[in-house]
Amino acid sequence: MGKPRDKFWDYAEVIPNEGEGKDKGTRWKCKFCNKKYSGGASRIKAHLAKVDREGIKVCEAVDEATTKEALEALDSNKRPKKKKRPDYLTDSTPMNPQEADLQSTLPVLGQRNLNGQLQRRPDEIQRVEFSGENESIDLANIPTRSDFGESTVGAMMQEFENEIQVEGPSDAQGYVNDWSGRERMLAPKLVGRDRIVDELWGYLTTNDILRIGVYGMGGVGKTTTMKHLYNKVHGSAAFENGVIYEDRRRKMYNEGHRLLDELEKSCLLEACSDGNGSKAVRIHDVIRDMALHIMNANNPPCMVKSGLGLEDVPDDEEWLLNLQKVSLMSNGIEAVPPSISPNCPQLATLLLSDCKRLHKISKRFFRRMQGLKVIDLRYTSITKVPKSVMSLKKLRALVLKCCFQLSRIPSLAKLTSLGKLDIEGCRKIKEVPDGLGMLVNLTYLGIHVSGIERIPDGVVCKLKKLQHLRADYVTVKGGEVGKLRKLEVLRCRFENVNELNEYTRHATTIESYILVIGGHPNCSYALNSGKVVIMDDVEIRETCQFPRDVKFLWILRVRTWNISSFTGLEELEVLRTEELLEEPEGQQEERTSPPPPGDHCPNLKVLQILDCPKLKHLLVSRHHCYLHLKKLEKLEIYHCEELESMIGAATDEEESLTSSTPPLPPDAFSQLQLIKLRWCHKMKRVLTLESFMLLPNLEKLEIDRCEELESMIGAATDEEESLTSSTPPLPPDAFSQLQSIKIAGCPKMKDMVGPKSLPVLRKIELSGCAKMKRMKEVIGGQELDHGATSSLFLSPIPAASPGDQLSTRKLTLKLDDLEELESICSWTGLRDLIHVIQISRCPELKRIEMLDDASPPPSLKEIVLWVGGDGNRAKQWWESLEWEHPDAKNILEPYVFVDTPHRKKIPLRECRP
């Protein structure tokens, strides 16, 4: 039997569809003051009893009788109650007697109190960024600004401490330095209580559990169980000095984000964006201060003074002997003078990042900090690293990222424990630091966007434990990198194809790599992750051996190449060619040997061709195209001024044979979903009937500034154009998935496609076709006579019957900059589908026949006009339209809107003529 409903719910109105029940964030509105709150009956009582210490505002409109009743109810709840017999004693499940005496109860404190605190000061939420996909998660790098007073923080600390009490003897002290400096509780061996620890662990990782009560008779092992739970929390990840360490960086990354996810689910952190689209989390000042209070109460002390606007480093007196962590980040400190030399032998973490004015650190500063393991100086203005840093034998992470003035780093030879070295963005560092090859424990090396151009031979091969090498355009030896067996992430440059082949011969499969072959140090390829090979301005005369799992191949500024000489492309998904000076071999000269059998790139999904001025044909029919492209989904061609056709013959003599030579297998391009053509000025037709009889999965078609383009589908040659009318029509299922058509800047376009219906078409955009008067058809249909060539003629679409696909389809029609368009014709089937019409810069348009009726189309949502952003001119243009039905204009007027320069639509009725 469930708990009876509290009578105080009669004084509140539960807000539906918010929360999941009385104990899971229920929202309710007070019937006296009509204000909304969250929580259960106890918060309703506190609200009505005018008790302001319960984390809820008091009700100002409640009567005295109700207030008195609520106070009495609160007082009765605080009186001690007779303990009930635990339910587990009546459970039929067999249980260990000692285990039966120790049970965990579900929490009685949900998220509502925490949410209330977060809602108090939403403007004072701070942000904590976490690093990229393959870097360690630095949880110590948390802003420390606090705008709350000490009394508020103290009250919260006391409340929190009161709510996390555990029954039993208070002998849970006695820490030992174990697990590399992390504090572990000594505890007897558990016997028969592992399930209890696992159950408690499950509660700890549940979203809305903030308090767990553990009860049982004295001596049954409550304290021992809690010690083991404490150790399990610490043992869930190797967590040291705010940095998570694991044997593999992917595990470290996943563990860090798992912890962040748990904190976010518990409302201790809130997900946000850093303004650049990157993921971040932020923490409320109260939660942050509470965390610092707990940390300093149960652990060796820390000094956190970040974001306080400090101009000087704290005096030696403030640096306690047993300090373990210090954060002075985001301050205005300019220098660390020789007079500051703290004696902190146990200090493990020092954060001085984002002190942008910091330009000098005395060498005496680090002399008595021999326990340091993490030093973060990123985004400071230091010009050199103090030599005393190089004697810190326990140092594991040295972060100097974006120290733009840094020009000198002493020898690293003594830092044999160093696991991470990051000098990204240090452009004044021109050479690899001395002693880099001595860092035998190094797992992360970031030297990209620095002044370094090459890692000397024989250095990389000594870094046997290296997992993450971020060098980008820094040249390395392919054979040396390929022999690093623990490497997980690689970004670097190889000088030539031979180095690529050496890498491929020695390398094993890794999670992510971006390899630049050739290229230039100042290039930027705007790629962040994946399995990518970029070939830039490099000689390709021999066989190229690519990693067998390469997904993206980008070929730039290559004069002569032949894809048949590439091996290892079985998993290639994206091929991009750009600024090729010649057509690929085999498409330019006659082959002396047949192409390799079968598909060369069987899994290719995206083909992009950019800025290839001499390319005439995408594929050569004579060679039957060793790129069968059976899985191709996207085809994009930009700035190929000489391109004439998608499929062409190798020689002029073969051109006449094109129609009789089957260029591709029947399933070629069968998965193609998108075609984009831009600035291909000599192309006259996109598809030929012989080459592309079916495109069953084509969904989107975009043509932009193809000045000679006349049709979407036509004959293979101009001589065959006269025979087009006798060519068998396309099958009825051709283009059956086409949803969007966009044509811009194609003044010679005559027709787009030939089918009589496009069953799923949802969007048509026509723009910049200044000579539309020559356009006979836009979407198939019958030939128009000369007098109707100024019309936009839309093919008949069958009327929709209830339940079929057409009955739920809605069509958008956008017309822009069609200077000679005079009318839009349509049939009933199309009229029933029209949803949105946008018209701009069509000065000669006089009639819209699909709208000329006694009632608006059933799916019509709006008609949007743009006449230079001027509402008055739009009103005049609308009034100038010609209508056969006398009521058509008035019936349609409520649907008409004017688009303003700020993209804000206003009703036409509000515009004055």
Identify whether the C-beta of residue 881 lies closer than 8 Å to the C-beta of residue 852. Answer: no
Give the pLDDT score at 730.
58
**Residue 290 structure tokens:** 């509470």
> Can you tell me the distance from the alpha carbon of 215 to that of 88, in angstroms, rounded to the nearest whole number?
12
- Please write the tens of the pLDDT for every residue from 103-123: 333 333 333 333 433 333 333
Least-confidence region, from 30-34, 150-154, 731-735, 763-767: 150-154
Greater pLDDT, 36 or 160: 36
Greater pLDDT, 710 or 468: 468
Helices 222-235 and 194-204 pack at an angle, to 10 degrees, of 60
Residue 722: count other Cβ atoms within 10 Å of its Cβ: 9
b/e code 772-799 from CB counts within 10 Å (16+ = b):
bbebbbbbbbeeeeeeebbbbbbbbbee
Residue 686: count other Cβ atoms within 10 Å of its Cβ: 22
Give the pLDDT score at 238.
45
Greater pLDDT, 785 or 454: 454
> Can you tell me the distance from the alpha carbon of 522 to that of 669, in angstroms, rounded to the nearest whole number?
38
Whole-Å CA distances, 145 to 1, 137, 412: 49, 21, 35
At 237, the pLDDT band (50, 70, 90 cuts) reads very low
At 464, the pLDDT band (50, 70, 90 cuts) reads very high
b/e code 80-97 from CB counts within 10 Å (16+ = b):
eeeeeeeeeeeeeeeeee
Q: Is the dihedral of CA 568, 573, 579, 585 positive or negative?
A: positive
Greater pLDDT, 738 or 157: 738
Side chain identity, residue 398: L
b/e code 521-556 from CB counts within 10 Å (16+ = b):
eeeeeeeeeebbbbbbebebeeebbbbeebebbbbb
36-38 and 27-30: which strand pairing? antiparallel
Q: Phi and psi dihedrals of 80, rounded to 5? A: -65, 140
Q: Is the dihedral of CA 74, 80, 82, 87 positive or negative?
A: positive
Greater pLDDT, 516 or 843: 516
Give the pLDDT score at 731.
61
862-866 and 896-899: which strand pairing? parallel
b/e code 576-603 from CB counts within 10 Å (16+ = b):
bbbebeebbebbeeeeeeebeeebbbee
b/e code 884-898 from CB counts within 10 Å (16+ = b):
eeeebbeebeebbbb
DSSP secondary structure of 601-621: STT--EEEEES-TT--EEEEG
Of 533, 571, 522, the residue nearest 555 (C-alpha): 533
- Computed on alpha carbons and rounded to an integer, the radius of gyration of the chain in Å comes to 36
Query: Mean of the pLDDT values across residues 144-153?
Result: 35
**Residue 114 structure tokens:** 């925490």
What mean pLDDT, rounded, does the chain reach?
A: 75
Least-confidence region, from 180-184, 198-202, 287-291, 400-404: 180-184
**Residue 472 structure tokens:** 């980008």
Query: Mean pLDDT highest for which of 351-355, 592-596, 618-622?
Result: 351-355
Give the pLDDT score at 792.
57
Least-confidence region, from 74-88, 138-152, 398-412, 669-683: 138-152
**pLDDT at residue 797 is higher than 60:** no
Q: Is the dihedral of CA 706, 712, 714, 716 positive or negative?
A: positive
**pLDDT at residue 593 is higher than 50:** no
- Please write the tens of the pLDDT for every residue from 473-491: 999 999 999 999 999 999 9
**pLDDT at residue 812 is higher than 50:** yes
Of 690, 647, 695, the residue nearest 671 (C-alpha): 695
**pLDDT at residue 145 is higher than 90:** no
- Collapsing DSSP to helix, strand or coil, 774 comes out as helix
> Can you tell me the distance from the alpha carbon of 871 to that of 890, in angstroms, rounded to the nearest whole number?
18
Residue 179 burial (C-beta neighbours within 10 Å; 0-12, 13-18, 19+): middle
- Collapsing DSSP to helix, strand or coil, 286 comes out as helix
At 598, the pLDDT band (50, 70, 90 cuts) reads very low
> Can you tell me the distance from the alpha carbon of 794 to that of 744, in angstroms, rounded to the nearest whole number?
17
Give the pLDDT score at 393.
93
CA neighbours within 13 Å on the CB side: how many for 883?
19
**pLDDT at residue 671 is higher than 60:** yes
Give the pLDDT score at 223.
81
Query: Mean of the pLDDT values across residues 802-824?
Result: 74
At 691, the pLDDT band (50, 70, 90 cuts) reads low
Give the pLDDT score at 627.
57
**Residue 740 structure tokens:** 């969007």
**pLDDT at residue 163 is higher than 60:** no
Query: Mean pLDDT highest for which of 11-15, 598-602, 686-690?
Result: 11-15
Greater pLDDT, 644 or 792: 644
DSSP state of 311: S
Cα 537 to the center of its chain, rounded Å: 31
Identify whether the C-beta of residue 870 lies closer than 8 Å to the C-beta of residue 912. Answer: no
- Please write the tens of the pLDDT for every residue from 370-408: 999 999 999 999 999 999 999 999 999 999 999 999 999
> Can you tell me the distance from the alpha carbon of 422 to that of 429, in angstroms, rounded to the nearest whole number?
12
Give the pLDDT score at 102.
36
Greater pLDDT, 824 or 338: 338
> Can you tell me the distance from the alpha carbon of 463 to that of 477, in angstroms, rounded to the nearest whole number?
13
Give the pLDDT score at 226.
80
Residue that the structure tokens 């697990």 belong to: 179
Q: In what order do the strands lie in the sheet with 270-273?
A: 125-129, 279-284, 270-273
> Can you tell me the distance from the alpha carbon of 731 to that of 383, in angstroms, rounded to the nearest whole number?
72
**pLDDT at residue 211 is higher than 50:** yes
Query: Mean of the pLDDT values across residues 517-542?
Result: 80
Query: Mean of the pLDDT values across residues 879-890?
Result: 89
- Collapsing DSSP to helix, strand or coil, 161 comes out as helix
Find the largest Cα–Cα distance for the chain: 104
Give the pLDDT score at 692.
57
Instruction: Measure the CA angle with vertex 414, ends 410 and 415; round to 5°.
Output: 90
Identify whether the C-beta of residue 316 lies closer than 8 Å to the C-beta of residue 293. Answer: no
Give the pLDDT score at 171.
34
**pLDDT at residue 6 is higher than 70:** yes
- Please write the tens of the pLDDT for every residue from 730-776: 565 666 788 888 989 888 776 655 434 466 788 888 888 766 544 33
Give the pLDDT score at 733.
62
Of 35, 39, 25, 88, the residue nearest 60 (C-alpha): 35
* Helices and strands in the chain, H and E counts: 15, 47
Query: Mean pLDDT highest for which of 136-150, 190-204, 489-503, 891-905?
Result: 489-503
Query: Mean of the pLDDT values across residues 212-223?
Result: 78
Query: Mean of the pLDDT values across residues 455-461?
Result: 95
- At 156, which helix (H) or strand (E)? helix 150-163
- Please write the tens of the pLDDT for every residue from 243-301: 555 567 777 778 888 888 888 888 888 888 877 777 888 888 888 888 888 887 877 78
Of 383, 137, 396, the residue nearest 256 (C-alpha): 137
Give the pLDDT score at 876.
87
Identify whether the C-beta of residue 143 lies closer than 8 Å to the C-beta of residue 281. Answer: no
Give the pLDDT score at 586.
44
Beta-carbon contacts of 736 under 8 Å, excluding residues fewer than 6 positions away, are: 696, 759, 760
DSSP secondary structure of 220-266: SSHHHHHHHHHHHHHHTSEEETTEEE-SSHHHHHHHHHHHHHHHHHT
- At 423, which helix (H) or strand (E)? none
Give the pLDDT score at 846.
87
> Can you tell me the distance from the alpha carbon of 882 to that of 885, in angstroms, rounded to the nearest whole number?
9
> Can you tell me the distance from the alpha carbon of 866 to that of 781, in angstroms, rounded to the nearest whole number?
29
Give the pLDDT score at 394.
94
> Can you tell me the distance from the alpha carbon of 528 to that of 513, in angstroms, rounded to the nearest whole number?
9
Share of the chain above pLDDT 90, in %: 29
Query: Mean of the pLDDT values across residues 55-84?
Result: 75
Instruction: Measure the CA angle with vertex 320, ends 315 and 324; round to 5°.
Output: 115
